[in-house]
Amino acid sequence: MVLVVLDHDGNRLKKGSLEALTRARDLAQALGEKVAGVLLAEEKAPVEEARKYVEVLYTATLGPYTAEKWAAGVLKAAEASGAKAVVAPSSRQSRAYLGRVAYALRAGLLEDTLESRAEGGEVHATRYAYLNRVTQKVKAALPVVLTVKPNTTPLAEPLPGEAEVVALEVPQVPTVEVLERIQEEKKGVSLTEADVVVTGGRGMGSPEAFKLVEELAALLGGAVGATRAVVDAGWRPYSEQVGQTGKTVQPSLYIALGVSGAVQHLAGMNKSKFIVAVNKDPEAPIFKHADYGIVGDVHQVLPAMIEAVKKLKD
């Protein structure tokens, strides 16, 4: 079997899960195996949707997330399915628990892969390194644990039938106990899954100016991003930070507003398909990486961009 970890929001599978399914199907075809899924949940999970994408579906309700619990759940599914490979969407959570799974399975760990293939009892993959400036080719012998970088792989389509659902009995590992969770309210599309990202930098001047950033992102069906300087100033939440110490995004369109283009920020977005930059400094480093650049005051350019998008939509 090739086992896929299916991330979800409680109601629907996330986009990253559909990318991971495509990779898993390719590996399974090369290895002559079937595809199984594991759906772990705190309370509820989209079981009916998930069973349309795999041939066997393992489920478990584990309560509040901890890396230990999720590692135990994935490991139990891997053992039950006899998985030769475990494929999962790349995320902060998966980085926290899949290393434990790989260690327990004595498996190679290939993280943030751009593409992958099975050949001769090995899995070959590519990934970025050195602040996304270099593409590495890596390989590991089976068994393998592999994560899929967001926005790199076509989305899987449902299969004709519906999978058998198998409930797992996962041993409790209460080393860490969650006492309280303060949930940040999420609006719109997820930053790492967005096809359009509109990011504001320190050049926006104030937290109030981000209302226009939010408006443009909403008009384009995208997500709002922020630089580290903006997050450190308390203007925007850390969940929106793009860069080496934030999130890595790879949308079709990345709009950088008042962003200078420090190397740490570029590491999180320089593989976007198209980059549009607005900055009043013609020497700003961001222009060296932008496909389209506008030299001007972002407070004048941004409202004009919003009006132009509104006219196009009308």
Please name every residue paired with 164 in a beta bridge, in sequence order, or none if there are none.
56
**In this predicted model, what pLDDT tens digit does every residue of 227-277 receive, in sequence order?**
999 999 999 999 999 998 888 898 999 999 999 999 999 988 988 999 999
245 is in an annotated binding site: yes
pTM as predicted: 0.81
Contact call for residues 251 and 151 (beta carbons, < 8 A): yes
**Given this model, what pLDDT does residue 175 score?**
78
Could you tell me which of 156, 161, 149 has the C-alpha nearest to residue 192?
Answer: 149
Q: Report strand pairing: 253-257 vs 223-226.
A: unpaired
270 is in an annotated binding site: no
263 is in an annotated binding site: yes
Where would I find the beta strands (DSSP E) of the chain? 2-5, 35-41, 56-61, 85-89, 108-119, 122-129, 134-141, 144-148, 164-167, 196-200, 223-226, 253-257, 274-279, 292-295
**Given this model, what pLDDT does residue 188 score?**
72
136 is in an annotated binding site: no
99 is in an annotated binding site: no
**In this predicted model, what pLDDT tens digit does every residue of 218-230 receive, in sequence order?**
999 999 999 999 9
242 is in an annotated binding site: yes
Please return the burial class of 68, using the count of CB atoms within 10 Å of its CB with bins 0-12, 13-18 and 19+: middle
243 is in an annotated binding site: yes
264 is in an annotated binding site: yes
**In this predicted model, what pLDDT tens digit does every residue of 124-135 receive, in sequence order?**
999 988 877 788
Mean pLDDT of the chain: 93
Region 87-112: what's the mean pLDDT? 95
**Given this model, what pLDDT does residue 116 score?**
97
Region 23-34: what's the mean pLDDT? 96
59 is in an annotated binding site: no
166 is in an annotated binding site: no
244 is in an annotated binding site: yes
Residue 186 pLDDT class (50, 70, 90 cuts): low
Give the C-alpha separation, 14 to 80, whole Å: 24
* All domains in the chain, ordered by first residue: 2-167 (3.40.50.620), 196-313 (3.40.50.1220)
Tokens of 10: 């409680």
262 is in an annotated binding site: yes
